[in-house]
A and B are shown apart, each in its own frame.
Chain A
Amino acid sequence: DAGVTQSPTHLIKTRGQQVTLRCSPKSGHDTVSWYQQALGQGPQFIFQYYEEEERQRGNFPDRFSGHQFPNYSSELNVNALLLGDSALYLCASSLPGTDTQYFGPGTRLTVL
């Protein structure tokens, strides 16, 4: 049973550019959450998708947007990149009606 997968593994962008990160949840999981983890910090919640709708959102600006597809996979889009957006972006999925979230390996984004 494949776990949560994310692509790409690493990404380097310059300020002002736009980026799209991708996530495939574990088999049977219908809910996908995105987190940003700065170096030496705990993950910070960005938003959560369920049934192709944004269900919860953390304190992130509108530059951060997402999408969930009918097969439950998800994308995170960040526009107008800032140096401070450099971080590990983690995707987590969960089973319907459960609380436990399982994390993917993350995408390391570097903004120069």
Chain B
Amino acid sequence: QQPVQSPQAVILREGEDAVINCSSSKALYSVHWYRQKHGEAPVFLMILLKGGEQKGHEKISASFNEKKQQSSLYLTASQLSYSGTYFCGTDPSGNTGKLIFGQGTTLQVKP
């Protein structure tokens, strides 16, 4: 039931773009995206709900394809502060609060 994230790791230069994918074998009610820096708590980025629209947060946006049971996180014009591990959390049952997280995608942005 754990969602699968791809790629596992990506290295970028400042200003480059990246896409992180999250796929599930089960129908999804919602997808939650978090960024975690080493030794820190996961920080909430955005939530996408079934039937909802694409969300955006500064230069970070995400989409949710219900038919394909997947979500993608788009990072444009990456900054050094974007470095960290990105996790998607899915709630297949619907508003239960029981999030199932993927294994994470490590993003490193270099100057």
Contacts and interface: CB of A to CB of B under 8 A. Distances in A.
Nearest to B103: A42
B96 A56 contact: yes
Interface stretch (A62-70, A79-87, A93-101): A93-101
Given A56-B96, A99-B47, A100-B32, 15 more contacts: A4-B41, A31-B97, A33-B97, A41-B104, A42-B104, A43-B89, A43-B99, A43-B101, A55-B97, A90-B41, A99-B30, A99-B97, A100-B44, A101-B32, A102-B44
What band does the interface of chain A fall in when counting residues whose beta carbon is under 8 Å from B? Answer: 20 to 34
A98 to B, nearest CB: 9
Given A33-B97, A90-B41, A99-B30, A41 B103 contact: yes
Interface of A: 4, 31, 33, 35, 40-45, 48, 55-56, 58, 90, 94, 99-106
Interface of B: 2, 30, 32, 34, 40-44, 47, 49, 87, 89, 91, 95-104
Contacts of A44: 101
Given A42-B87, A42-B103, A105 B98 contact: no
A43 B41 contact: no
A22 B38 CA distance: 22
Contact of B101 (A42, A94, A102): A42
Nearest to A31: B97
Given A99-B32, A99-B91, A101-B32, A43 B98 contact: no
